[in-house]
Structure 1
Amino acid sequence: MNKTIKEFWDYRAKSYGVLRSEHLNSSNFTFWKQELESNFPPGKRLRVLDIGTSTGFMAIAAASLGHHVYAIDISDKMIEEAKKASKNFLENDKLTFIHFKVMDAEALEYEDDYFDAVISRNTTWTLCDVKKTYEEAFRVLKPGGVFLNYDADYGKISFYNNFLETHDSKDIQDKEFVKYCKLSDEYKSQLPISFVSRPQWDVTVLRSLGFAHCEYETDISSKFNPHGNIGNKRSDMFFIYAVKPISRQSDSENVYMKIFMQHLFLKKREERFYANFFEKSNIPMSHFLVLLLLMEHEEGLRPSDISDYLLIPRQSITRIISSFIDNHYVKAIKNSKDARSFLAVITKKGKNYANHLFEQVSPSQIKAIDYCGVENWKEANKFYKNFLDYIENC
């Protein structure tokens, strides 16, 4: 089957190269640069893998941001077009940031824990074994690395019928494109991925493989037209964002720093996703995050632990907890391990209130999962504060 896939995309390489060249010089390219920048983990020089790079569009976008990009495709003709495009578009200093190679996405030739980010656009619908590709993406990602997948449920549509419905008789005379549409329909009818519900299937598989933080948007097509003339409402592009968790077992300072940076990054994403909801409801997001944290730790937490976890000043946490106690969302109980402090425990009323708030937020905007536990977060934050103190004293 992989031989068929290679032959199909070798055949499409030249026309794809022309189309993507137009996109590189349009607002489409600006959009994708911003999209990658907003979803990449913190860091100026990330190591990025582009799976199924095609003619290099996404790889060029990532390299133009200053990241080191390794771009692969099973089609050597596509790789040839990608190299041409990068030379025509990237400045000389950025050309050294990008490396193209013919490679099978289901058998990556890279070592474990190698990349900060793995990206894929309009690729997974074309693959024979998508689960194997996801396994490989997980393997080569560093702990804390992100997987960004932009694709559509193309298995549910007919490219040929769609072409007939959306083009006039003059366009239909384009025998080459008609041939492409028919071949595409025949090609994808042989792929297992065409017969599952996406992106729900993808997210289920990613979680089963060990990705601890997965979220998705079912339609980002309204932001742009990524498919040229064949874009339509029946093939809305979805976006999947997944994070490879950091091990709970390691206690090295380097890992603590990574934990802290990932915590800040996920917090930033929560702010981005929840912003519109909280603006309309007049509920401070800090209140909501405290409730979610207490729901994850029903045994209760000290206010100081909540402060260290969420990076919210202790005075603010004290005020929030006091207001929750007044409204019977939280109760204070004695701390058997420390008589000088108390534990904040969420009540049934508090759980109902938190669930009510959470139900009003889109299910695709999934909250950050507690990877490492409060104690590890606390140690990570303490390490980072010591690091800042050291920098200030230098």
Structure 2
Amino acid sequence: MRCTCRIKGRKTTRASLKDFDFNNVKMDTLNSTLKADVPKDECSTQSDEDGCQILGEHETHVLEDSEADLDLHKHYAGCTKNPGHEQFIPVDKFTIQHLPKDHRDEDLVQLIKNTAGLTVRMEVRVTSSHRPKYWPNKTRPYPFHKVKTTNLRLGSGIIWNVHMVQDETAACWCKQCQQSNSPKHVWWEFYVDTATHVVFDDEEAKHTSLKLFYDSKGSPEVTIDTVRVDKVDIEYDVCMLKGVTCNRRLGRKLVHIGKDFSESWQKVCDKFKPSRDVKKLVYIVSHPHGCPKQVSIGHWEEKYVTKDKDGNDLYQFTYTTCTCPGSSGANVQCVGYSVDWPDLVHGGCLRSGLNYSGNCKAF
């Protein structure tokens, strides 16, 4: 069944989150307090074929032509959605004490740190002429439709499935090797998941770069500037890019982080699966306002389950986990859920004050 989910009622402020100490309050208490403050979703059936999709406001951060990285911190300081950003934790300061007491687990801490290691800032410099006027089967305008400017757009994404390629008969396809008379024959390929409203198609991907390991203002500049679209799903708002680097040190580092991520992720899924629908913990690592990456901790509020064309369950979540402009496309981790993990990405925010994901498979 196809549902259109709308939030009705007064706008909820973030005060209910600011007033809580996540280190000491029980999640059940937090859940009940927030539920009293958040209007419920109302769904109306539209058709028998498509799945439920919640749509709110995207959280891509758009820079003016004259702005530079230094100006991003002005937006961060003047943020109206999360004044003070009290529920964001700088990734280099995150510790086990930031987790709720019943989730203070070393494997979970390691998983969050590995998620941070693979999280990238998406930098998009061109807007595709093929962006639709509306979301599929909706009357809500699609982000950046017919935008003529080349203002830099910033979002978040996550790298996964990093692997080395060695082929003496082929060459690395990064931009540097494409222009070189002696291209490398050993390179590393990987995937990046983000939201489709962040990177829409190859026209935009050709002008997209990734900023890696941007953990603090003084972080070394590490950029990958060659990605292309592998898969795009406009309706479910998931874009899978394929990227490449022939930097041996970088490639090996990403392989190492990816391996550590897989190991810690499996341990956490096994450990917290029995309590996933009770504790409902959700964490996100993103680049709010394009600034150094931050960890945010919250819980999911509603889970919407529908079917894709092959009969597989598709999950979409709303959650209290804090996000800001620049968080669009960030990986959403619902602890204990064995989703196709890179595919659950942050979609935007609702008038109720909740945030929401795209759709993906889960089990």
**Of Structure 1 and Structure 2, which has the larger fraction of its residues in helix?**
1
- Please give the range of the TM-score, normalised by the shorter of the 2 chains: under 0.3
Q: Whose radius of gyration is greater, 1 or 2? A: 1
**Of Structure 1 and Structure 2, which has the larger fraction of its residues in strand?**
2
> What's the TM-score once normalised by structure 2's chain length?
0.22
> What's the TM-score once normalised by structure 1's chain length?
0.21
